[in-house]
Structure 1
Amino acid sequence: MDTVEKISKKVNALIEKNNDAYQGFKKAAENVDSFHLRDFMMDEATQRQEFAARLSRALRTYNPDFDPDTDGSFTGSMHRAWIDIKAALSMDNDESVLEECIRGEKASVDEYEDFLEDYPSLHSDISGAIRDQLSHIKQVLDRVKTLEDLH
């Protein structure tokens, strides 16, 4: 497989991850009691939708023949189901949902960092988008950890 195809598939995996995060944050917003957390989760859902769109545009420019994924992954669907189950069984829904958000954000950070490690010299809209998005995801991870400590 040539490098363009490998990079395209890895970017597509990040698009899937963002689609999963979009759905996950929406699901999390449905399961929290705090209006503040609900607003935060919906803002992040919107942000992840925008991340996926930006990566899709960059991928189309980089490899016009590649068809990016517009849905999430099976793993993401399972994670959202787990949020529902955990929230239903937990006495503190907000803390349980925040724990799941932390788990999802850590997975996103790992996937983004793996991409940058595999393709450190890729100069394009793709690497710029990935670096910007990774920075945002790390900030959100820190914020969610802080919110969890407060609950």
Structure 2
Amino acid sequence: MEVGNTNSEILDRLNTLLTRTRDGERGYQEAAENVKDAELKSLFLAQSRQRGEYALEIDREIRTLGGDPENSTSLAADLHRAWINIKTSFTGNDDKAVVEECKRGDGQALDDYQEILQSTSLPASTRELLLRQKERIDSAHASMSRLAQVV
């Protein structure tokens, strides 16, 4: 584990996580638009709202630490959402394919959280926030894994 990260390094990593969290929010929104099942649609919209709340919390944390939050999504996420649209158009809006993509996205989010938590000396309040969010994303990832088996 690196120790003694500068405030600038911490803010850069938090901004990257903020961008990825917004990616997740938009990804779940896109997923909700691409499924037929009403329960899945509702689940994906709830996950989108949750990621939006996480983004607001990370945004506030960045400001508390004296930084300026970025207001963008990543190119990779834009491509991922385009891929969901393309894949669902070829598979007839296959709900299973969308669930699998949400599962994959949550897996990437967990990797992002793990990376910042392991490689960055974070203030205690920031670490607590990220650990809480990571735990809930882990729960969503487990749900998507179970759903992928039954959809």
TM-score (normalised: structure 2):
0.93
- Structure scoring higher RCO (CA < 8 A, sep ≥ 6) equals 2
1:29-108 alignment, distance < 5 Å? 29-62=32-65, 64=66, 66-91=67-92, 93-108=94-109
Partners of 2:92 and 2:64 in 1: how far apart?
48
- Unaligned 5+ segments in structure 2 are none
Identity %: 30
Instruction: Specify the alignment match of 1:116 in structure 2.
Output: 117
- Unaligned 5+ segments in structure 1 are none
3-state secondary structure, aligned to 1:47: helix
| RMSD (CA atoms) | 1.2
Instruction: Specify the alignment match of 1:127 in structure 2.
Output: 127
For 2:74, the aligned partner's letter is S
Change (3 A) 1:92 1:30: closer
Partners of 1:40 and 1:80 in 2: how far apart?
18
Describe the superposition over 1:13-51 as per-residue Cα deviations: whole angstroms up to 9, x where unpaired.
Answer: 110011000100000000011100000000000000000
Describe the superposition over 1:67-121 as per-residue Cα deviations: whole angstroms up to 9, x where unpaired.
Answer: 21122111111100000011111146110001111111111000100111112x5
